Amino acid sequence: MNNHFTVTINDDNGVRQFNIHQIVKQAILYAALFLGFIALVAVGTILYLNSTVDAIEIKRKNMQDAYTILKEKNTALDESIKSTQLALIDKKRELVEVSDSLSEIETLIGLAPVADMSLQERVSVTKLNSQHMATLMQFIPSGSPIEYKGVTSKFGYRIHPTLNTRELHRGIDMRAKMNTPVYATADGIVEWAGMHKRSGFGNLVILQHNYGFRGYFGHLNKIVIKSGEFVKKGDLIAYTGNSGMSSGPHLHYEIRFIQRAVNPYEFVKWSVKNYKDIFEKEKKIPWQSLITATAHIKVPNPTQTLPSSQLALQ
């Protein structure tokens, strides 16, 4: 059996032959196959590693993008939290201011503070009391019927300026130029609107208000309402003048409760700011029973301020 082969090498030195045994030949063949396999494995591994590296790079880039987006979201969230915290601080400050203002209103309308009462509950109670207060001040004369320039003659006994006799002055004489607008100081019905010679008030308007109150406006120059009409607080009713027994242009203003004269000056300066004062200063009126009787009444759109303004308080 021929188990060897001959290798012939032809070069410049001649022809040389080498005999190689068949086992060696097989070893070389196997070595070549092994090296070929190793090469194929290496190429496959390199290709696999390259694809893996590409996939890893794609994942890394995606993670980097996700991290960047998350970082931006965190930054935006931090800014939102800071903004919310600042807004909460502002709201807390506003609530403190509201609570302080509410405390002033509660004190003003005579509500005793309750420690465990929520702000919403306090607002509700204050709203109810404020509505009642607005109701009383809508139906009972309050505020100045003209732009307040002072009082020339007070309520009480005096020497009559034209008769020169001592008598009870049932109202106040309010300083005013001719044709100063006169406004209703409460809702009511016009009981009288015209010349009233017997009283000496000249052109006179009498407004009949709720709960037994009447308002008298004397020495007028021009009256713009008629008897039987309904008027709202703040409506224009007349212009001041010098009619009747008068020594000069002014407004004679009276308030009567069940035909008894009360000091109108206390009603002229009566407002939300000094709401409780009149209860102490005007004793002729049974305020407690009046407040109880009107507790359930609510005025939808109360008159906030007379056109003449509350200058009596200044």
Task: Reply yes or no on domain 145-268 having CATH 2.70.70.10.
Answer: yes
- Range with lowest mean pLDDT among 125-134, 162-171, 190-199, 234-243: 125-134
Question: In degrees rounded to 5, what are phi and psi of residue 169?
Answer: -90, 110
How many angstroms separate the CA atoms of 255 and 283, rounded? 14
Nearest to 251 by CA among 213, 201, 307, 189: 201
CA 218 to chain centre: 42
CA 233 to chain centre: 26
CA 291 to chain centre: 29
- For 234: left if phi > 0, alpha if psi spans -120 to 50, otherwise beta; the answer is left
Average pLDDT taken over every residue of the chain: 83
Confidence category of residue 312, pLDDT binned at 50, 70, 90 = very low
How many angstroms separate the CA atoms of 113 and 76, rounded? 43
How many angstroms separate the CA atoms of 13 and 9, rounded? 10
- For 98, residues 6+ apart whose C-beta sits below 8 A from its C-beta are 119
Q: Between these two residues, 84 and 113, which has the higher pLDDT value?
A: 84
- For 144, residues 6+ apart whose C-beta sits below 8 A from its C-beta are 174, 185, 268, 269, 306, 308, 309, 310, 311, 312
Please state whether the predicted TM-score (pTM) of the whole model is above 0.85.
no
Q: Between these two residues, 56 and 225, which has the higher pLDDT value?
A: 225
> Tens digits of per-residue pLDDT, 178-189?
999 999 999 999
